[in-house]
Each structure stands twice: as structure tokens, then as C-alpha cells.
Structure 1
Amino acid sequence: MIKCFAYENFKSFEKAELDIEALTTLIGTNSSGKSNAIEGISILAKTVTGLELSMILDGTKSTGAVVRGGSSGCARFKTNAFKLGCLTELDSENDLLYEIKIGVKERAAVEEEGI
């Protein structure tokens, strides 16, 4: 089961964690980060499908950006990269943390990735 999502320099999040329970509801005022949190989860989910990173973040000319603002809108103001992570319960004694750092300078590229 997924236990937590982590965001660093991603859109409105400087550094944040979203703990997940069997039922998790996101409630908040407009512009409080609910959509940003969901987009981060979506990016993580799509990276494991084998889709090209630029396609995940920017889409194509015919479909438009998949993520609001595209790759250039993902990194927090005055940064060139963002990090997303997911903590998953591996078994009753161990957890597994997956993290990916994506640079968005000239083009979107994975800078670091680890389990």
C-alpha cells in the first residue's frame, strides 16, 4: 500500500509530504495545492509506463500539455529541477521509497532516480 507522496520544488510545494490512508480526501481553498498534489501523483504513475518524459509533461502539439504549465511550469520559481517521491509498504517490516529528480532546463530529463 502507498503510504506517502513527497514533493520538492514542485509547483507550489517547496517541500511537502502527503500521507495516504485507505481513504484520503483532499480538501482546501482555491490555490492551496490540491491539483498540484494530484499532478505530482500522475507524473509518478506515468513514469513507470515507459512514456517519454517530455510526452508526460508537455504532451504533443496536437494534444497540448498533459501537466498544467508543461515541464517549464513544474519546477518551483527560480529552480531548474523538481523531485517527486512515493513511499510504499513493501512488507510488514520494510518500506520502499522511490524518488525521481527531473531537470527542466532546455528539455525535461531525469537527473537522479533511486529506490
Structure 2
Amino acid sequence: MFGWFKKKPARLQPESKWVVDGTGDQIAVSDDDGHRRSIAKRDLYGVAIETNDSGPWGADLWWLLYSADKKLACAFPQGAAGETAMIEFLFALPGFDHAEMTLAMRSTDNATFMLWQKAPDSTA
């Protein structure tokens, strides 16, 4: 009885099919197809946010993590599983630019916002 009243299971958003894990010494990202990319935390050189005009239907905010050779090491969309813990780690980086992050979060344009770069003599 009242079978019509059953709550439908929540559908996963495409972004939540991505998984980011920053436990231990590595940052690892698995995309929605299961492909995995990683970087050692000690090798993290830069953090940026890239925004685009595909929202609200597309993934319009991406976290970009760069290696020392200034190449993209891994990226994940806002809403990825594990994002909250990863962002807490990124916020704790010395010199992380919270004001620039706020600008990025408000952006609906195609733009890139540099939030952090490792200082030349830093071990962070």
C-alpha cells in the first residue's frame, strides 16, 4: 500500500563520480571513467581554479593541481567525492589566496584563477 509514495533514490551528479583523495603523501584523482592521476604532495607546485560558462548544467568549476614542471598533474570538478577534505588541505597551504578563490567561485566566465604557488625555497 502507498507504493507510489516511496522516495526515489537520489541520482548522482556527474561531478560526484569523480573521486579525489589526499590522504597520505599523495593526491590522487579518479575520473568518472576510472582513470587515475596523482601527484606527491611534496611535488605540488601550484593550485588554480578554472571556471567556464557551462553551468548550471555542466561542470563549471575545476580545481587544477600543477607539478614543479608547471604541467597539469591532476584536476577535479567542484562536487567531486572527497572534495571537502582536499579543499581543507589546499586552504592550509602557506600563502593560499582566499580572496582570489572567492572571485573564482563567483565567476561565470571562462577564466583561470591562480590560488597558490610553492615558494622557491618552500617544502610545503
Whether these two folds match at TM > 0.5 is no
Larger Rg: 2
Instruction: Give TM-score, length-normalised by structure 2.
Output: 0.25
Instruction: Give TM-score, length-normalised by structure 1.
Output: 0.27
